Every structure is written in C-alpha cells, then in structure tokens.
Amino acid sequence: MAKEYNPKEIEGKWQKEWEKSLIYRALDSSKKPKYYALIEFPYPSGDGLHVGHPRPYIGIDIIARKKRMEGFNVLYPIGWDAFGLPTENYAIKTGKDPRIVTKENSDTFRRQIQSLGISFDWSREINTTDPKYYKWTQWLFLKFLEKGLAYKAKMAINWCPKDKIGLANEEVVDGACERCGTPVEQKEKEQWMLAITKYADRLLDDLDTVDYPERVKTQQRNWIGKSEGALIKFDDIEIFTTRPDTIFGATFIVISGKEDRFTGRYVTNPATKEKIPVWEAEYVMSDYGTGAIMAVPAHDERDMEFAKKFSLPIVENYTPAGFEDYGKKVIKYKLRDWVFSRQRYWGEPIPIVHCDKCGVVPVPEKDLPVLLPEVKNYQPTDTGESPLAAIEEWANTTCPKCGGKAKRETDTMPNWAGSSWYFLRYCDHENDKEFASMDNLKYWMPVDWYNGGMEHTVLHLLYSRFWNKFLYDLKLVPTSEPYKKRTSHGLILAEGGEKMSKSKGNVVNPDAIVERFGADTLRLYEMFMGPFEQAIAWNEESLVGPRRFLERVWKLKDKIYQGKALEDTDYQGLALVHQTIKKVSLDIESMGFNTAVSTLMIFTNTLDKQEKVSQKEFETLLILLAPFAPHITEELWEILGHKDSIHLQKWPVYDPQKIEKDEITLAIQIDGKVRASLTVSRGQSEDEIKTAVLAMSEVKKWLGGKEPKRVIVVPRKIISIVT
C-alpha cells in the first residue's frame, strides 16, 4: 500500500528541519549577489491572523525562494509593528499591560505564520516596541532635531469634549468621536512637527527613478500636490492663484471663514483698478495657499456658484493677463509638515527634556532609550495630555545640560515612526552601537522588491522615503531611495464579498485551513484563487482543487522510472517541458501566480496521463512547484533519494530552441469564421500550406466553387481566407 499524502505530518517535520538547517538565513556577506525582499511587517492585533494576512507573505515567499534557487543571497525578514491604538484601547479597557498583550499577540502571529512554511529569516525578527529597537527610533528623532527638521508648533488637534481625550484622525468618524459619537472639537496644542515639506521636491522628482505602479506614483504626486501659481496683492490681502492670467475676471475676494458672509470691506483689483468686495466663505481652505483667493466666476465653478448665490458680479469676457504681471511666481504644495506628537501612552517617548533655563534639551545619546514607564492608568489625562504626564516620578527629571529641575516631554511618537525605518534595521538588527552599520546597509540596501497594501501607498511610503532621504543626506544610508520596486496585493474578502472583521464574525482563521487541508494547499489556493493585485472573496469550496492537485503530484512518485523522459520521446513533450519552465519563471516575476499554478497543473495532468513518469521530469516539476508548496516537494525530493534540500537546487532554465513544437494545428478562417483546422509541420512553407488548405474538402465546401480574394497565412497562428 503506497504511503498516503499526510500534510500535517510532513509539514511539521520539514518546518523543524529547516529551522535546524538554517537554509533561509541571510548572510551579511556572501560571494552571491544579494536580494532583499520585503513585506510590510504586521501589526499583531488581538484577533490573530486571518487568511488575508499571508497572501502577500506567500507571494513574496515564492519570489524569495526562486531568487535563492537562482543563486541569490536572499534577505526576507519579518517583525512586528506593535505600537498602536488597538492595543492601547485594549489596555484602557482591561488594565492589562500593553507589553504583555503585545507579547501574547505576536506569539500567536509568529506561531500562525510559521505554520505556513514561509521562508522568513526568523533570526532577524524585530519589534518596534522593544526598547532595543525604539532606542534608535528616538535617536533618529534627535537627528531630525539636530538638523532643524523637528520643531514645535501650535496645532489644532481633534478633541473629544466628553471623553476628554485627543483623538487620532483615524478615530474621528464623520466628525464625531469613534467611541461615544460626540462631535469632535479642535483644540490648540503645541505639537512636535517633522519638516517633510523640505523634501517635497525630491520626494516628487525621485519618483521617476523607482519602479512603482503608475497609480502609486500618481497618488504620491497628488498628495505632494505641487502647483505653480502667483501671489497677488489686492491692497493688504494677498491671494494665491494658479491662474493669474484670469485676474481681469476677478470680481470679488474670498477669505477662509466659518460661514459665508460679506466682511464689509472692499479692496482694489490691481488689474482693473476696480473696488471689489471681500467675502468670507467655508469653501476656501485656511491652510492652503494664503487662505485667500480671488474669485473668477467665469472661470471657476465654485466661484460661479458663490457669485450666483450672493448676486455678485460676473465678468464673462475679460482680457487675459501675463503670468507675472500683477504678482510674483511661487510654488505651493498640498503636502503639510508631519504632526509627530501623540498624547498617547503606547508609543515611543519623544526623547526631550524641557528645562526652564535651557529650554528644549535633547536627551543625550548615552541615556537612550527613554524607557516607556509602567503606569496604572492608560487613559489620557483630563487636559488631553498623554498618561505619561500623570506619572510625576517619571516626568520630573533633571536637565542634562544644567542639572537643574526639568520636565520630560510626555508626548509619544505616532504609529508611523517605527515603520519609517524598519527596513534599515533588518540589515543589522542586533547592532547596539548604531541603528545599522553602513557596511551592512551598503550590502543590502536598497530593498529590491517591497510589497504591501494599497492603503499604505501614500503615507507610509512617503514617510519612509522621507526618513531614508534625510539619512542619505547625513551619509548614514547608501541610497537616496529605499525601495527599488513596489507592488501591492489585493485584499481577501469574506465569502459574501465584505471585508473580514471580527465584528462581522466573518473572519477565516488560517489555523483551521491548515488543519483540514494543509499549509501547502492553503498557499496554493491563495495564489491560484485570482490575480494577486485584485481583491477577491474567500471560497472554502474551492480549496479542494489545489488539494486534489497536490494529491496527484504525490501519486506520481509511484509511477517513476529511470528511463526515457517525456522530453526525449518527441517534440511535443520537449516543448511542454520548456514551455512550462518558461511560463512559470516569467509568471513568478510578474506576480502572475494564478497562471503559474495552472501551468503546473497542466504539466502535472500531462505527466499523470503517461503510463510511467521519468524521474527527470518529475524532478523538474517538483523544483518548479517548490516555491509554491515547499513541504510536499521537500518530502518527495527526499523520497526520491536526495540528501540535500530541494530549496537549495538550481532553478531550471528553459531552452528557447526547444519551445517550439514540430507540429502545430492552425485554424482556418473563412470570412472571419473558423471552419476547419490543419496540422502543419515546422518546415512547411507558406505556399505549401496555402495549397494544402485550398485543396481541403471542407474548405472547398465553404468556398462553393468561388475563387478566394485573399489568403492570409499568419505563420504558426491562423490561415484567413477572404471570399
């Protein structure tokens, strides 16, 4: 009785074996060329992993595994982006220490991810909430401060008057507090800011040097929002416009305001010399341009609407002006500086001390990290300050400069901080002298392929590019851009097509799938279910397809013989082998995982139809399948008698000469409709084919004795007859 396919047994066995043999370890120096593959590190939420999480991990795993087999020294790391609101809110609710919650959650995530056989280098695991990590996040902040790119400014924050806490933008839903529904107010507060706008131009221009999807570049460009316009003075009111040439049509001025009303003032239009009224309106943004515009109703729809509503003059035919006749050329951006303070507990403490005598004093490097102290209450204070402000023994300190009494900064950093540089830390994760050594960074950077969600293509990507560029200017990192290539994956939705969420109760846990079908089946299904970039609904029924496929592969081992291979027997077989290698190789590179899997299925089905299967071809199949289904292929590789891992084998190369079949069936179209087919061989000339086609009885029938007007022979494709 042949041994049955038992995924549970072989998957556990090989996962342990790989951990021992260290075959997925990245080496910091190697004769091989390097390859840095990256996924966005997850936030270890209390809900555990759902089947959507691994989709990008599997996709990039396939690429990482193929690169290894192609002779690259591959870095494919993972860690935890563990600071953040859900954990903090959970702590507020339960009083449980977020450190413990984070530990539990990341332990669960790790166990779940490890059960999928993804070739992460677990020895480089990082955690943004680990003091050994956030020491360097703090250090990097001090660099920004040192170079004048971190500064304090009064900013309006979202404030819930009922809960008396500051809210992150994400917690404001339709202008109201997410948890109590009270309308959110704006409250002025001193905030730390990072001057990302200083890098606006380079963040924009350097998009031309990277391989991102065009829509991601467009989103980044729109977010930066560079526009060229002019500042024009209407007496003492300065306005910004991108169309200074329309100034002769400007019939009133609008300044930003809470309600639509006439201010009672008039100013002079410098072009027409006419007195025009100054209005206030909601539709003008206070934080863009100068917060004031010249209204040209004939040219701008919103101006027109406003003019009609309040019966303001409209001039339809006006003389165009020159660009700089009445003002000076200026470049404006939509991009704002980054508000870097949070009045929250679960984040990196900002390493600053406030001294009455010395002012803002950075915590000296030797005193880093500034540890997040333990507290009893995680709730922000009544005044909207971080809970850290309530811990006097922590907040009261001495000034590092003068030794006098001083207070610590009690704001923490936003969630984005740790993720803005984590890809650098992976290159040298244990370094306690530097955030990462230049030697290691020079070896590994830039990231060769970075895959993540569409929801991060604006902020996270922009922020991390900004940090990297800043560090590049300080000569602390070797490349101006951190990521050479960026791709995105689609979400996996619940069976009904809705987003998976705990509250809807439609979350599918991968543990259950691994238990029932095995990790290899789950991996294969997630790759096969549809195009990688596209959102797609989970379908439990369809999992049996990939499982049956693996069963078929498993059974092939009982038909092995050491004889003539399929590709030795005829051109058809030869072509199939080489076509399969080509298609699978190219599909992996272009993330066409679904069609790569179907190609492997076709190859397997063909082998399965043979009485006997040559070991040579079976091994080709296993090697091509190995990145997708690492456990079953490793087991079969061992059964075939190999002592080394299949994952260390050479990726096969196809021979372009051997891809073409010697015989091909051409379709014959008559007036655009397929009426017959003809099998021709490699060497046949067009004329020979033409003669053969016209002699066919089927063709004669459709021609009905008429002479064809044209006969078009498209080599290796089709024959088209026009009557």
Partner RNA sequence: GGGCGGGUGGUGAAAUGGUAGACACGCCAGUUUUAGGAACUGGUGCCGCAAGGCAUGGAGGUUCAAGUCCUCUCCCGCCCACCA
Q: Given candidates 434, 655, 671, 688, which one binds RNA under the rule CB under 7 A?
A: 671
Q: How far is the CB of 406 from RNA (least distance, A)?
A: 38
**Closer CB to RNA, residue 319 or residue 677?**
677
How far apart CA 123 and CA 357 sit, in angstroms, is 46
**Closer CB to RNA, residue 69 or residue 721?**
721
| Binding of residue 547 to RNA (CB under 7 A) | yes
Q: How far is the CB of 85 from RNA (least distance, A)?
A: 17
**Closer CB to RNA, residue 40 or residue 348?**
40
The interface with RNA within residues 184-243 (CB under 7 A) comprises 214-215, 218-219, 222-223, 225, 227, 229, 240-243
CB 323 within 8 A of CB 329: yes
The interface with RNA within residues 302-361 (CB under 7 A) comprises 302, 334
| Binding of residue 722 to RNA (CB under 7 A) | yes
Tell me which residue of 284, 305, 282, 304 sits closest to 293, measured CA to CA. Answer: 284
The interface with RNA within residues 558-597 (CB under 7 A) comprises 592, 594-595, 597
Which stretch in 120-128, 313-321, 453-461, 687-695 sits in contact with RNA by CB under 7 A?
453-461
How far apart CA 489 and CA 476 sit, in angstroms, is 31
Q: What is the dihedral of CA 419, 421, 425, 426, to 10 degrees?
A: 60
Residue 48 region by backbone torsions, left for phi larger than 0, else alpha for psi between -120 and 50, else beta: left
Q: Given candidates 551, 559, 610, 615, which one binds RNA under the rule CB under 7 A?
A: 551
Residue-wise burial string across 270-298, b where 16 or more C-beta atoms lie within 10 A, e elsewhere: bbbeeebbbbbbeebeeebbbbbbbbbbb
Bridge partners for 718 per DSSP: 667, 714
The interface with RNA within residues 520-539 (CB under 7 A) comprises 528-531, 534-537, 539
Q: How far is the CB of 152 from RNA (least distance, A)?
A: 23
Site residue total, RNA (CB under 7 A): 74
Peptide bond into 369 cis (omega under 30): yes
Q: How far is the CB of 515 from RNA (least distance, A)?
A: 8
The interface with RNA within residues 597-616 (CB under 7 A) comprises 597-598, 601-602, 605, 608
The interface with RNA within residues 253-282 (CB under 7 A) comprises 256, 282
| Binding of residue 458 to RNA (CB under 7 A) | yes
Sequence-separated (6 or more) residues with CB below 8 Å from residue 571: 661, 662, 663
What is the residue-wise DSSP string for 368-381?
---PPPP-S--SPP
Bridge partners for 339 per DSSP: 193
How far apart are the two ends of the chain, measured CA to CA in Å? Answer: 63
Q: How far is the CB of 450 from RNA (least distance, A)?
A: 18
**Closer CB to RNA, residue 649 or residue 669?**
669
Q: How far is the CB of 499 from RNA (least distance, A)?
A: 9
Which stretch in 344-352, 541-549, 574-582, 689-697 sits in contact with RNA by CB under 7 A?
541-549
**Closer CB to RNA, residue 486 or residue 647?**
486
Q: How far is the CB of 496 from RNA (least distance, A)?
A: 12
Residue-wise burial string across 96-106, b where 16 or more C-beta atoms lie within 10 A, e elsewhere: eebbebbbebb
How far apart CA 150 and CA 142 sit, in angstroms, is 8
Q: β-pairing, 338-339 with 185-194?
A: antiparallel
Q: How far is the CB of 556 from RNA (least distance, A)?
A: 12
| Binding of residue 453 to RNA (CB under 7 A) | no
The tokens for 228 are 């060229």
Which stretch in 16-24, 26-34, 639-647, 660-668 sits in contact with RNA by CB under 7 A?
660-668
**Closer CB to RNA, residue 406 or residue 597?**
597
Q: How far is the CB of 513 from RNA (least distance, A)?
A: 11
Class of residue 49 by CB neighbours under 10 A (exposed 0-12, middle 13-18, buried 19+):
buried
Tell me which residue of 167, 174, 300 sits closest to 243, measured CA to CA. Answer: 300
Q: How far is the CB of 373 from RNA (least distance, A)?
A: 34
| Binding of residue 506 to RNA (CB under 7 A) | no
**Closer CB to RNA, residue 398 or residue 590?**
590
